[in-house]
Amino acid sequence: MTESPNPLFEFLLRQGDNALVLGHRTSEWCGVGPALEEDIALANTALDLIGQTQLWLGYAAEVEGKNRSANDLAFMRDAYDFRNILMLEVPNEDFGRTMVRQFLFDAFQVPWLSALRQSSDQRVSEIASKSVKEAQYHLERSAETVIALGDGTPESHARMQAALNYLWPYSGEMFGNDSTDQAMHEQGIAPLPQSLHKPWMQSVSNTLAQACLAVPEDPFAHSGGRTGFRHTEHLGHMLSTMQVLQRSYPGASW
C-alpha cells in the first residue's frame, strides 16, 4: 500500500473498478426487474460494463507488469486496493436509485470517454472508443427513465427525488483532483475530471428539470473510493460475494 503507485496503473484501475463494481450491482437485477423488458435491458448494461472491465483491467495488469490478469485484479484484491467511486458500490435499494445512479454516472462517462478517445495513450484511446458507444446508449436509456419516473406518479416522483438526494453527495467524487489526475493530464492521457464538472452539471440539471426533480443544494461530496483511502462498508460485502470462489479455491481454474 505504501509503495509509490504508477499513475497510469492507478488511472486504469479507476476506470476498470468503476465498470466492475457498477456492472456487478447492475447484474444483481437479473431475474427480478420491474418488467421483462427492463430486466433484459439492465442485463445488457451489465454485460457492456463487464466487457469494459475486461479491457481496462486487462490493460492495467499489463501496465503493472507483475504477471497478473484482469481476473486476478478483479477477484484477488481487497477493498483498500479498489479504486471505484463510492457512488457505484452503494446498494441498488430500488429501481429508482439504480437508474438515478446510472444516469449520474452515464452523464459523466459520455463526455469523459469521448475525451479519452484523444488520449496520447493508444490503448486508452481504443478502449474509450469502444466504450463510449455503449455509454451513449446507456445515457439515452437512463436519462429517459429518470425523466419518465420523475414525472410519472406521485410515488415514482417521491422515490426518484429520494434516490437523487441520497446519491447526490456521492456524485462529486467523479470530479476529484489528485496527483494521479495531474499526472494523467500532464502526459496527455486524460483531461482533468474537474474540467467536465460544469458541462456535466448543465446536462444533468437539464434532464432533472424535465424530470421535475430538484437538484440538491448542499455541495458536500463524499470521497475515498477512487483513492482507495476509505470505501463504504458495502464494498466488503460485495467483494465477499464476488470473490468467494477464487478466494476459497486458490489456484483453481474455472
Partner 1 sequence: MTESKEWPLWEIFIRGQHGMSHRHVGSLHAPDAERAIKNARDVYTRRNEGTSIWVVEASSITASSPSDKGPLYEPSRDKVYRHPSFYDIPDDAGNM
Partner 2 sequence: MYSQMVKSTGKAVPTLAELSPEDRAFQKRIDRGEKIEPKEYMPDAYRKNLIRQIGQHAHSEIVGQLPEGNWITRAPTLERKANLLAKVQDEAGHGLYLYCAAETLGVSRDELYQMLHDGQMKYSSIFNYPTLTWADMGAVGWLVDGAAIMNQVPLQRTSYGPYARAMVRICKEESFHQRQGFHIMIAMAKNGTPEQFRMAQDALNRFWYPSLMMFGPSDKDSVHSAQSMAWKIKMNTNDELRQKFVDETAPQAEFLGLTIPDEKLKWNEATGHYDFSEPDWNEFYDVLNGNGPCNTERLDTRKKAWADGAWVREGMMAHAEKKALKAAKAG
Candidates 64-72, 82-90, 135-143, 237-245: pick the segment binding partner 1 (CB under 8 A). Answer: 135-143
In this structure, how many other beta carbons lie within 10 angstroms of the beta carbon of residue 217? 6
Q: Is 151 in the site for partner 1 (CB under 8 A)?
A: no
Residue type, 188: G
CA separation, residue 77 to residues 17, 45, 194, 240, 245 (Å): 11, 24, 28, 11, 13
Going by the DSSP 8-state scheme, the letter that residue 188 receives in this structure is T
Q: Is 241 in the site for partner 2 (CB under 8 A)?
A: yes
Q: Is 27 in the site for partner 1 (CB under 8 A)?
A: no
Q: Is 246 in the site for partner 1 (CB under 8 A)?
A: no
Question: What is the SS3 string spanning 122-179?
Answer: HHHHHHHHHHHHHHHHHHHHHHHHHHHHHHCCHHHHHHHHHHHHHHHHHHHHHHCCCH
- Which of partner 2, partner 1, none does 140 bind, CB closer than 5 to 8 A by kind? partner 1
In whole angstroms, give the CA distance from residue 48 to residue 177.
27
For residues 53 to 92, the per-residue mask of contacts with partner 2, x marking binding by CB under 8 A and - elsewhere, is: xx--x------------xx--xx-----------------
Q: Is 180 in the site for partner 2 (CB under 8 A)?
A: no
Look at phi and psi of residue 214 and say left if phi exceeds 0, alpha if psi is from -120 to 50, else beta: beta
CB of 187 to partner 2, least distance (A): 28
Q: Is 141 in the site for partner 1 (CB under 8 A)?
A: yes
Q: Is 253 in the site for partner 2 (CB under 8 A)?
A: yes
Nearer to partner 2, 33 or 216 (CB): 33
In whole angstroms, give the CA distance from residue 100 to residue 143.
8
Residues that bind partner 1 (CB under 8 A): 35-37, 40-41, 44, 137, 140-141, 144, 148
Residues that bind partner 2 (CB under 8 A): 24, 27-28, 30-40, 43-44, 46-47, 50-51, 53-54, 57, 70-71, 74-75, 94-96, 145, 147-149, 151-153, 155-157, 159, 241-242, 244-246, 249, 251-254
